Structure 1
């Protein structure tokens, strides 16, 4: 059953707020490095051989990475930051500040690149300059995964539903990174396909255009929920190092935003194209994990996830909602049954969501009680950042 594109756009809101609303992250200086040169791990080797990398989408405006780490008692293995791309001067400053925080605390920087000025602006000169910056970060001990133009199958972003232009731009980014920043990697990350093609968005593919034809995978003259929401946008195995998908619990039924406990099994059902529940029948959505993780052998990430809790509304308790969701993420069978799932990043924000007309507290570490429950449920296979390396950046 198709659902309103606006709900899916709400998922996208979580992915653009850093670039749109937040000031630069405050830089944190690492301790004085020794004379040893930093170790550069190849970008293609960032996925752990076992277990799953833990990550966080931080609200940089209201806290630092060190504060989050101190509160949780652990250093996340992955830290997410968003930026317009190509960079403005302010964007470049923000990216440098995020890098400095990760350098100080340790871990991988997941840098989400948003081409707000259009895909044509992503030229080879721009991507080569980006790769030079990432290589400098790598040589200072900070691996980077670049998530370019996420949720490109949605209709709410400037780069959305333009499969040919998107794939060409992604390949330019990947070509530069693979050639000039071998300590970095790429990530291809569409939006979950439930509700595709998200009718009504400002950037929906128009009938009669080449884009519309390319998205009509069943060749019936229309783009509907029966068409593949992922494959037309895939840039190719040689360009993609990681695959990812944002999966949030926004509630169980339209219009979304109610304080309700997630249905059992919802997370894995959506990841594998088996969801048919209170939110509708999504059985037409392909098995993302099976196609891109298992068949193509790519490490799979959940770059953003959380469970909606609206403090101003009645309903299920915050802990009941969030704990039910993170326990699905921490299912003991996941490392055994889904070994290609290699990263899960929580969305650590308390913010107004236009789609639900309320402030939503997404955080897993927002209060002592929630933090205590979250940390108590963390599985032993959840990988946190190793000890930070004191080193001199290589040249």
Structure 2
């Protein structure tokens, strides 16, 4: 699924940052800060022993992190920021602004890097420079997880469907992060494999190329849904600290865009490769949770999730759709049956979506009614950031 850049507005850099947001959300649990402020944590150990980190993909141009936390009634444990890579001056300023807000709020920064110029731009100098910046963030009390070139199995991004070049670039990023920013970690995050190989995109692998041959995992001379949508892109256990997958409810049938209540069990069925919904049979999709979380002992993240409510399309109501989806995320069986699932980040945006040709309000806290319902349903094992004490590295 295509995700456009979410760069921080320059005005955010000068926004007033609150040091407290008040009460914790109903049902959620507050993560207590480390007693020794600004001690650099082990980036590879950012997953909680139990429970799930509650995070947000924030529309930085419309809302500060403090404003969102006040609306929700709790500080997110994870905040997502997007950036072009390598970093240009504007990207660096945006990232500094995101870091400042997370520093004052508490929690983890999940940095999604988008090499829009192509994978050849991911040089050692660029990755080492990034890692030096992240180390400075870590020393100011902000752990960072780097999600590099997400949805690389799709055909819509400049880094898509190039398995060898992608794995090499990811490993360069991982080497720099692990070597120079030990308070940070890496995340590998493909697109959900339903609909693979996503034919028709600008960057699809073409017959006769080495990429096409590498992606033809069943060696039948064609790229189809029978080919593995994940394995050719995996850069190796030593390079990957977290695994993740974006899972949205776009509707139940293709073409997407109808306001419909999600089918029962859809979220877990997609995560585990068992979805056989009205949108088509995706049962050839591997069990992502089992193969990349449980078998490799990696923490599993849902870096982006939400449920579609398209303006002017009729159908089911906003609260019915969104509540049906978040209640699947809050299912009491998750921490018991899927203990590797350690992070879920809601996509808190109201934006025009090219895929459906209409504005879509993805937000859970966009109005008081949905915010109240969302926080009322939060389970105790969803973890939020506790108050963070200032430290000498702040500035």
Give me the TM-score of the superposition, normalised by structure 1.
0.93
Q: Partner residue of 1:17?
A: 5
Q: Partner residue of 1:168?
A: 168
Q: Partner residue of 1:333?
A: 333
2:49 maps to 1:62: no
TM-superposition CA deviations, 1:288-317 (whole Å, max 9, x none): 000000100100000000000113121001
Contact 1:141 1:389 (C-alpha < 8 Å) held by counterparts: no
Structure 1 segment 183-202 matched on structure 2, within 5 A: 183-202=183-202
SS at match of 2:355: helix
Query: Counterparts of 1:145 and 1:205 in 2: how far apart (Å)?
Result: 29
Query: Counterparts of 1:317 and 1:29 in 2: how far apart (Å)?
Result: 35
Contact 2:18 2:66 (C-alpha < 8 Å) held by counterparts: no
Q: Partner residue of 1:156?
A: 156
Contact 2:17 2:66 (C-alpha < 8 Å) held by counterparts: no
Q: Partner residue of 1:229?
A: 229
TM-superposition CA deviations, 1:333-390 (whole Å, max 9, x none): 0000000000000000011111111110000001100000000000000000122131
In the superposition, relative to structure 1, how do residues 161 and 24 fare at CA in structure 2: closer, same or farther (>3 Å)?
A: farther
Structure 1 segment 243-322 matched on structure 2, within 5 A: 243-322=243-322
Query: Counterparts of 1:209 and 1:253 in 2: how far apart (Å)?
Result: 33
Q: Partner residue of 1:205?
A: 205
Contact 2:37 2:389 (C-alpha < 8 Å) held by counterparts: no
Query: Counterparts of 2:253 and 2:5 in 1: how far apart (Å)?
Result: 25
- How many angstroms does 1:125 deviate by? 1.0
Q: Partner residue of 1:126?
A: 126
TM-superposition CA deviations, 1:147-206 (whole Å, max 9, x none): 000000000000000000000000000000000000000000000000000000000001
Query: Counterparts of 1:185 and 1:98 in 2: how far apart (Å)?
Result: 17
TM-superposition CA deviations, 1:2-61 (whole Å, max 9, x none): xxxxxxxxx323xx2314x85563355576xxxx76121110110000000000000011
Q: Partner residue of 2:366?
A: 366
Q: Partner residue of 1:219?
A: 219
SS at match of 2:385: coil
TM-superposition CA deviations, 1:88-125 (whole Å, max 9, x none): 10000000000000011111000000001111111111
Q: Which of structure 1's runs of 4+ aligned residues deviate more than 2 A?
A: 21-31
SS at match of 1:304: strand
Tell me, which stretches of 5 or more residues in structure 2 are unaligned?
20-35
SS at match of 1:384: strand
Moved more, 194-203 or 310-319: 310-319
Contact 1:24 1:60 (C-alpha < 8 Å) held by counterparts: no
2:103 maps to 1:113: no
SS at match of 1:80: strand
Query: Counterparts of 1:297 and 1:98 in 2: how far apart (Å)?
Result: 30
Moved more, 307-316 or 179-188: 307-316
In the superposition, relative to structure 1, how do residues 249 and 305 fare at CA in structure 2: closer, same or farther (>3 Å)?
A: same
Query: Counterparts of 1:320 and 1:168 in 2: how far apart (Å)?
Result: 44
Structure 1 segment 59-98 matched on structure 2, within 5 A: 59-98=59-98
- How many angstroms does 1:229 deviate by? 0.2
- How many angstroms does 1:393 deviate by? 1.8
Q: CA RMSD in A?
A: 1.3
SS at match of 2:228: coil
Query: Counterparts of 1:177 and 1:361 in 2: how far apart (Å)?
Result: 35
Query: Counterparts of 1:84 and 1:17 in 2: how far apart (Å)?
Result: 8
Q: How many residues align?
A: 377
